[in-house]
Structure 1
Amino acid sequence: MYLSDHDIKQAVKDGTITIRDFDPKRLGSVSYDVILDNDFIVTDVHNTPVIDPVKKIFPQTKEHHVKDGDAFYLFPGETVLGKVRDFVGSDTYLIQISGKSSLARVGLVVHNTAGLINPGHFLNLTLELSNINRVPLVLRPGMQIAQFVFSTLTSSVENNYKKVGRFSKDNWAHFKPAKKRKSSKK
């Protein structure tokens, strides 16, 4: 069962849902609009010959920071990682990320497969932003990019994400470009 706007407001008030800097103006009837942040991680296609997750071969990446008011161009067929500004989480509810229909209609996909925030996970969610249109899409930090939907569970979870989760609240760190390490040899 999904939470209504009234239920979301009450859950934020009583602390069972955390939304840092909660803004009631972004509350829909059954969702909460989230804002795009300033940082993006892009695959470095010139240094990534192949991606093979089974063999732990992941893409080489580059990090891009876009100032407020500036634009990030997402080209056709491109997928990048972006973050939401909203820090969110709950020990009680399942949180799902959903696209906004106005952006979906112009070809923006905000999550490819990872659309759940498990109970016990508190974070600034990483988005998998893809352009399935045939022309570039302009993304701007501060734009409403997606929405969170909150669901009740039939019982409390035994395996809270705080205990068994793979990613921390800084789930972004796993995808950042590797920094060059200084050699200790002289």
Structure 2
Amino acid sequence: MLLADWQIKDRIASGDLKISPFDPARVQPASVDLLLDHYLRVPRTPGVEIDVKAVLAGHTTMAEIDEDGWLMKPGDFVLASTMERVVLPPDLAARVEGKSSLGRLGLAIHVTAGFIDPGFAGQITLEIANFSPWPIRLRQQMPVAQLCLIPMSAAPQRPYGRAGNHYQDQYGPVESRYELR
């Protein structure tokens, strides 16, 4: 079950769901359109092996989308983030989905990590890949994703952020902090 447009607006008006900046015109029937921020993380050394047993910090480098945009060639991969900062209450989970018009161009907005736990706070990191045969130019503040809000049947005992989660309060795109346990 997803929140409907009026429920999204009501939850934001009540203050328990926060999306900032928020534009009511970007509320869709069952989602909120999110915009692309201007920072990216790009692979530092493409082709170098990453061992998931010990993912080292610094495998990406920060870049910025300028007024000419950011050209993604076929096969390129970047981490990006939403312009909006989202704060989910303990009784709402979320999914971030790519815009279908971008998907029809071969641009994947989140490769696999579309789920957001209740209690999460921060900008949402996007894993963007160009699967098309064409170069695609990204632009700052372009509508890039949709946030769908999912009511929980009950609030969890430990919402995201209470257990030292990797990405709570993240700002900008954050590279993988994967730990094989």
Amino acid paired to 2:71:
Y
Aligned to 2:84: 86
Superposition misfits of 4+ residues, deviation over 3 angstroms: 171-174
Residue 184 of structure 1 corresponds to: none
1:170 maps to: 170
Structure 1 window deviating more from structure 2 (56-65 vs 88-97): it is 56-65
- Provide Cα deviations, 1:153-183, integer angstroms capped at 9, x if missing partner: 111111211212222212657539xxxxxxx
Are the aligned partners of 1:70 and 1:141 in contact in 2 as well (CA < 8 Å)?
Answer: no
Give 1:151 deviation, angstroms.
Answer: 0.6
Give the gaps of 5 or more residues in structure 2.
Answer: 177-181
Distance 1:70 1:42 in 2: 17
Are 1:26 and 2:9 matched, yes or no? no
For the residue of structure 1 that corresponds to 2:8, the secondary structure is helix
> 1 CA distance for matches of 2:21 and 2:55?
37
**Bigger helix fraction:** 1
- Aligned residue number for residue 7 of structure 1: 7
Match for residue 124 of structure 2? 125
Aligned residue number for residue 139 of structure 2:
140
Residue type of the partner of 2:4?
S
Distance 1:171 1:114, change over 3 A: farther
1:99 equivalent to 2:101? Answer no
Q: What's the TM-score, normalizing by structure 2?
A: 0.89
Name the CA distance, whole Å, in 1 between partners of 2:55 and 2:114. Answer: 22
Distance in 1 separating the partners of 2:94 and 2:134:
31
CA distance, structure 1, for counterparts of residue 58 and residue 72 of structure 2: 18
- Greater fraction strand: 2
- The equivalent residue for 2:74 is 76
Paired amino acid for 1:152 = P
Runs of 5+ consecutive residues of structure 1 not aligned to the other structure? 177-186
Summarize deviations over 1:33-70 as a string: whole Å, max 9, x none. 00000011100236x62111113346632211123x32
Determine if contact 1:51/1:58 at 8 Å carries over to the other structure: no
For the residue of structure 2 that corresponds to 1:142, the secondary structure is coil
Q: What CA deviation, in whole Å up to 9, does each residue of 1:64-123 have, x standing for no partner?
A: 1123x3210111111110011011121221011001110000011111111111111111
Equivalent-residue separation in structure 2 for 1:83 and 1:26 (angstroms):
17
In the alignment of these two chains, the number of paired residues is: 174
Change (3 A) 1:96 1:103: same
Corresponding residue for 2:153?
154
What SS is found at the alignment partner of 1:156?
A: coil
Q: Which residue identity does 2:153 align to in structure 1?
A: T
Q: Secondary structure at the match of 2:161?
A: helix
TM-score (norm 1): 0.87
Structure-2 separation of matches of 1:60 and 1:162:
24
Structure 1 residue 21, shift from structure 2 partner = 2.0
Structure with greater Cα Rg:
1
